[in-house]
Amino acid sequence: MKKTMLAGTSIALIALFSPLQETFAAENNGKGEVRKIDNIAHRGASGYAPENTIAAFDKAVKMKSDYIEIDVQRTKDGELVIIHDNKVDRTTDGTGYVKDLTFDQIRNLDAGSWKGEEFTGEKVPTFDEILDRYRGRTGILIELKNPELYPGIEESVAHELKDRNLDKPRNEKIIVQSFNFDSMKKMDRLLPRVPVGVLTSSRSHTTEQALKEFSTYAEYFNPNYGIVSKDLVDRVHSLDMKIASWTVRSQATADFLVDMNVDGIITDYPDYVDPRK
């Protein structure tokens, strides 16, 4: 069920007066309107601090990002944690699959020193820690990472959001996205008032038929920038969806996406997305 039908005018009013909307781009879209491009910090300001850590998320907030993007997985004993890879090897001093490790095992890992000595001791955060620390300070784009590995993770995420009244559009900005489309259909049923996004890097998902199917349950179509074109953006918009593209790691890519008229830019470097351009 499309959330735009449920939320109506109240969402528009909240968006208009939200402090998170103060970074409107000064670019005019030719119709006398000011166009908003959301600045979404990919795993936090991960170009400057270790990804998916408090250091990276705090840096993103300091850089006035509109959203932080987080990756949610689940430990062996059922704790929702924020980490991108299925294994802890790349971003911590540990080894093994997230699903095979307990929360205490993961919590004792160093998730920062690989990025620099100044980040030594950074921990893998929990989902509830991120919600409690950043709600009201910035929007949160929640990616369910490989949810097929974690049966029931959708219900767990929905529970944490509902417990904080974050399933209501009048509260802080929350979006849930995944490459797993069935998972997002499920999230749409569990949280009918929370925007859902589908992630893809495949052109096969940009056909008219595919986009129409996505639009029946998703508010966001979020592709890799390599398949973005003005025609695609226009077709997504014509179906009453928004488009946020990833992952920006250069100024040239950020500028390209601005020119393409996307609604959000997911970037390791929030300062590449200057809303005043």
Q: Where are the domains of the chain?
A: 39-272
Averaged pLDDT, 58-75: 98
pLDDT (0 to 100) of residue 6: 53
Tabulate helix, strand, coil % of the chain (nearest 5): 40, 20, 45
Q: Is the pLDDT of residue 25 over 60?
A: no
Averaged pLDDT, 200-227: 98
Higher pLDDT pick, 5 / 223 = 223
Secondary structure of residue 174 in the 3-state scheme: strand
pLDDT (0 to 100) of residue 3: 65
pLDDT (0 to 100) of residue 18: 41
- Token pair listed for 76: 């062996």
pLDDT (0 to 100) of residue 243: 98
| DSSP conformation class of 205 | G
pLDDT (0 to 100) of residue 32: 45
Q: Is the pLDDT of residue 14 over 70?
A: no
Averaged pLDDT, 82-90: 98
Averaged pLDDT, 105-115: 98
Averaged pLDDT, 121-139: 97
| Angle in degrees, 0-180, between the axes of helices 181-190 and 153-163, rounded to the nearest 10 | 40
User: Catalytic amino acids?
Assistant: 42, 84
pLDDT (0 to 100) of residue 35: 67
User: Across the chain, what does the average pLDDT equal?
Assistant: 90
Measured CA to CA, the distance from residue 111 to residue 60 in angstroms comes to 17
Q: Count the Cβ atoms, other than its own, within 10 Å of residue 131.
A: 21
pLDDT (0 to 100) of residue 9: 41
Q: Which stretches within 102-164 are classed as H helix?
A: 103-107, 127-134, 153-163
Averaged pLDDT, 194-200: 98
| Radius of gyration over every alpha carbon of the chain, rounded to an integer in angstroms | 18
Q: Are 217 and 210 in contact (CB under 8 A)?
A: no
pLDDT (0 to 100) of residue 36: 86
- Asked whether the bond before 9 is cis by omega within 30 degrees of 0, the reply is no
CATH topology of domain 39-272: TIM Barrel (3.20.20)
- Token pair listed for 25: 């781009």
157 CB-side CA count, 13 A: 33
Averaged pLDDT, 150-168: 97
pLDDT interval class at 172 (50, 70, 90): low
pLDDT (0 to 100) of residue 27: 46
pLDDT (0 to 100) of residue 274: 72
